[in-house]
Amino acid sequence: MIRAVMVMNTQGKPRLVRFYEFQPPEKQKELIRSVYGALSSRADNVSSFVQADKIFGQDTRLVYKHLATLYFVFVFDSSENELAMLDLIQVFVETLDRCFKNVCELDLVFNFSKLHSILDEIIFAGHVLETSSEQVMKAIEEIARLEKTANPISIVAKSVSGRLGR
């Protein structure tokens, strides 16, 4: 099971944090700091796999990808495969690149809800739903299409209710 997904910049500021098991806010902050401390102290030429027992408890692993100014981090237990998790990070990043045309940190800051929608299409309740970037993009495009068609209807509905004095 995937226990957490984090995207943080190279200064340790979280841009996306999703815990799939309850953690109190204070504990979340502590975990984020610990993960950043572990990642920022690693050399660039070492493995992307980290045993995270000291941070998250027994039987926990962490895989990350450092791209530009961002760390993409997945925390998971032994029921998940490390290479599959690394591939899932790649799917997440590829989808973000497709959505934002060469994603950067500011895209994540200013498109927070879209970022969460993409993650929700890939992972639900700590379980992998989709591993194809193309399928995730189709779902995101469908959501965007539905949002566009919903806006004119709501505008018309407001206009009609305003005319009726409601």
Mean pLDDT per 10-residue run, the chain (166 residues)? 94 94 93 92 86 85 91 93 94 92 86 91 93 91 84 51 49
Structurally, at CATH architecture level, domain 2-163 sits in 2-Layer Sandwich (3.30)
CA distance linking residue 71 with residue 92, whole number of Å: 12
Q: Are 61 and 78 in contact (CB under 8 A)?
A: yes
pTM strictly above 0.75? yes
Predicted confidence (pLDDT) per residue in 123-166, tens digit: 999 999 999 999 999 999 998 888 888 765 554 445 444 444 55
The half-sphere exposure of 97 on its side-chain side, counting CA atoms within 13 A, is: 11
Task: Supply the pLDDT for residue 14.
Answer: 95
